Amino acid sequence: MLKAVLLFFNFASLFIHLKKKIMKQTMPINGKFSLAELPYAPDALEPVINAETINYHYGKHLQAYVNNLNALLPGSPFENLSLEEIVRKSNGAIFNNAGQILNHNLYFSQFAAPKENNTPSGRLETAIKQQYGSFNAFREAFENKGSTLFGSGWVWLSRDQAGTLKITQEHNAENPLKKGLTPLLTFDVWEHAYYLDYQNRRAAYLAELWKIIDWEVIEQRY
């Protein structure tokens, strides 16, 4: 009897493990998307991003995009596509919600607890220094693109097929993969991303975000 119970729990935990593994990818589950898991506790990024912002931004805004997309997909030509394919091929409401899910998945999964003097290493560090002169010069260029984006959108660091780095401003739900680029790093400059913590001070939010970038994640994307 005990053996049977243990066997059941082994299978149950294997099933949960597989399900988590599937959820980490951005593929539909039974044609539906789920909220990607956060790789840290909601208060882990404080004081750069407070738990209240995570609760609204991740818990309410991102959840709403997931719910909207799940409601829009059935019967559409995009029903069985991966999230990236939907972003590449759709437009209108389906694109807006799919783009925002992809953008937020890349945004929330690139953070870790704050660190001072937090900079990249390895091949990415070399590429940044070659192209921008120094990490600080890159940082300044990136923050400037974020500060000067009018309205809602995202500032991105991407690489092209030759490995050249590009900083781009994308409006609303746009993602650089639609330009054939591979997205590496992104700062969300929609007001919902920073208003609770920084109010109208977008530049201050952009300057603080460097403390919580998990450069290992960015280097893996590169």
Binding site for Mn ion (CB under 5 A): 188, 190, 193
Among 184, 40, 203, which Cα is nearest to 108's? Answer: 40
**Sole residue written with tokens 């082994």:** 10
Q: Which is nearer to Mn ion, 126 or 199 (CB)?
A: 199
Shortest distance, CB of residue 100 to Mn ion, whole angstroms?
A: 7
For residue 208, which amino acid is it? Answer: E
Cα dihedral value 48, 51, 57, 59, nearest 10: 150
Shortest distance, CB of residue 152 to Mn ion, whole angstroms?
A: 9
Residue whose C-beta lies closest to Mn ion: 188
Q: Which is nearer to Mn ion, 57 or 138 (CB)?
A: 57
Q: Which is nearer to Mn ion, 54 or 128 (CB)?
A: 54
**Sole residue written with tokens 């400037």:** 144
Q: Which is nearer to Mn ion, 138 or 154 (CB)?
A: 154
Q: Which is nearer to Mn ion, 188 or 197 (CB)?
A: 188
Shortest distance, CB of residue 77 to Mn ion, whole angstroms?
A: 27
Shortest distance, CB of residue 57 to Mn ion, whole angstroms?
A: 6
Q: What span, in angstroms and rounded, lies between the C-alpha atoms of 138 and 184?
A: 14
Shortest distance, CB of residue 7 to Mn ion, whole angstroms?
A: 44
